Chain A
Amino acid sequence: MHDESLMFNRIHDALDAPPPAGAYERLRTVLIKRPVRPRWSPALPTRWSNMGFRLAAGLALVALGVAIASAIVAIHSASINTVPATHRMSVAAYQKMVESDGPNAPAVWTDPCDTVVHTGCEADAGRSIPLLQKWLDDLTHASTPARFAVVDAEMRQHLTQGITALKSLIVDSRAHDDAAMTRDYIVALYNAEWTSTVVPGIANSQQVDAASYVALVRSETRTLDACGAACGFTSTSADCIHSDGITCLYYFDTVGESFAGYQSDIVKRAAPDSLATKDARLQGDLSRADSVLLTMRLAVAAGDQVGFNAGIQQLRGILAQLDQDSAAITGG
């Protein structure tokens, strides 16, 4: 109880600030000047048909699967020294490149950008595209160090999706197509969020010994399992299609952060060579979860309950697979 009242007092002391004078009146004026017609369910309809959405989602999954498989093969090849080390970019050079490209790209955004109300969207997207493209080009031309093979493949996939979404955003903004902009924004934001979570992990990556890596995986798995039991739709049946979407957005963010955070942490404290193949398998499954979450978001945008439910099933399967990956590393 003492703790509770101390916390109340400290938080109030730290935060208490009244709204700026006339804030509500300003809001009232703006609301009256810019009337809105509320939407009806599904909350975020798009011009994509359910079939089109599933086809696109399926293709994205296949592409990611191929990229990850290639990355795992690359790691395996690296571990038996078929590629001379001198031909690969050094870890430090790769880190410097990502650290330089990463923060530039999303920092140009000035506003949330999911409707035509946000008039700066087109300019923001226009500034962001060449920066993301440069980042993607740099990654494509680099000979990725084996340590980053999986995360690099996934990052290029995210950047490609992000660029495509931003180009669509510009087209849809010019067409005043609110619903399509929402969909574009979901993809662009999801990709940007993933990269912003993972880039610090790459930038600060250091190889650790087997014991430290095993302890990290054990701890991360516990956290992920706890999230699986409490973070929302992996354990409960959330009605994301017909609800207002707020709860679901929260679930998406929590679950998404859990997967991306896990990946960032194991990239930051990188596996020793002896565990590289198992680490790649683990990262590959985290990547699959990441991809499924994006397709689930798009399913919500398309009002596609079947696609959303399929995503939940896939996520549950991936969580079980991650437990196996973890057990293979920790021996438990």
Chain B
Amino acid sequence: MPGSFFSPAEAELIEAAKRGDGVAFADLIRPHYQSAFKVAYGMLHDSSEAEDAVQEASFKAWRRLGNLRVGSSMRPWFIAIVANQCRGVSRSRWWSVTKAQGLDGQVPSVDIAAAVDVRRALLRLRHDERLIVVLRYYLDMPFEEIATTLGITPKAARIRVERAVHRLRPIVQIQGAAV
């Protein structure tokens, strides 16, 4: 699992961030920014909303930094906060029309149309199912790290991935055959 223990440099940054040092906290999350953005984008399918969600989640993570235990891993902890932030954003949309119809303004081609289908299928999954698909197949997380992120056992993580894939499989297989 990546970063299971804080390095001395990381521990120093954490201490400084706990004292309110913004530069230290920014440096602390820099290695995880890409993953955090991918999770947010995978959940929300909108670049601007994903950037905003990561920003809000970063502040929440900073406020909760005192709860990050020595010996725990930074990435799953931060990713979990981002995922919960995305849940909040999704709720604030509620009945609003989702933005899955286009890909940030591009003109759909055949490949893009296929991608849109997968994205629509993802949006039809419940939040927790979508999250587990994003963690497994977009962030390429091993089951152990998914389990740490979600606070479940690796076995439960595997079962949930299988369930979510079961719901997505028809669409993905149709596309697999078509391409």
Report A's interface with B, CB cutoff 8 A.
3, 6-8, 10-15, 17, 19-20, 23-24, 26-28, 30-41, 43, 102-103, 106-107, 109-112, 115, 117, 189, 192-193, 196, 230, 232, 238, 243-251, 253-254, 257
Query: Is the beta-carbon distance between A230 and B30 smaller than 8 angstroms?
Result: no
Q: Are B48 and A230 in contact (CB under 8 A)?
A: no
Contacts of A35 in B (CB 8 A): 20-22
- Whether A31 and B62, one on each chain, are in contact in the complex, defined by CB atoms closer than 8 angstroms, is yes
Docked CA distance A257–B128 (Å): 10
Interface residues on B, range: 35 or more
Residue-wise interface mask of B (85-101) relative to A, using a CB-CB cutoff of 8 A (1 in contact, 0 not): 10111011011100000
Q: Looking across the interface, which residue of chain B has its beta carbon closest to that of A28?
A: B26
A14 touches B89 (CB 8 A): no
Distance, CA A181 to CA B47, complexed state (A) = 29
* A31-B67 contact given A3-B169, A10-B118, CB 8 Å threshold: no
Q: With a CB–CB cut-off of 8 A, which chain A residues contact B21?
A: 35
What are 22 A-B contacts with C-beta separation under 8 Å? A8-B140, A10-B175, A11-B122, A14-B122, A15-B42, A15-B134, A17-B104, A19-B50, A32-B22, A38-B18, A39-B67, A41-B67, A103-B95, A109-B91, A109-B92, A109-B94, A112-B89, A115-B63, A189-B88, A196-B94, A246-B151, A250-B84
CB <8 Å contact, A27 and B20: no
B64 touches A27 (CB 8 A): no
Scoring A7, A34, A110 by chain B CB atoms within 10 A of each residue's CB, the highest score goes to A7
In the complex, chain B residues whose CB is within 8 Å of the CB of A248: 151
What chain B residues lie within 8 Å of A37 (beta carbons)? 20, 63
CA distance A42 to B107 in the complex (A): 50
A102 and B23 CA atoms in complex are apart in Å by 44
Known interface pairs A27-B55, A253-B128. Does A10 touch B94 (Cβ–Cβ under 8 Å)?
no
Q: Which A residue sits closest to B40, measured CB to CB?
A: A19
Q: Which residues of B contact A31 (CB under 8 A)?
A: 22, 25-26, 58-59, 62
Which of B94, B168, B176 sits near A107, CB closer than 8 Å? B94
- In the complex, A168→B88 CA distance in Å? 20
**Contacts A20-B51, A36-B62, A117-B59; A14 near B33 (Cβ below 8 A):** no
**B37 cross-chain contacts in A, Cβ below 8 A:** 19, 23
Contact B138 A36 (CB under 8 A): no
Cα A142 to Cα B156 with chains together (Å): 45
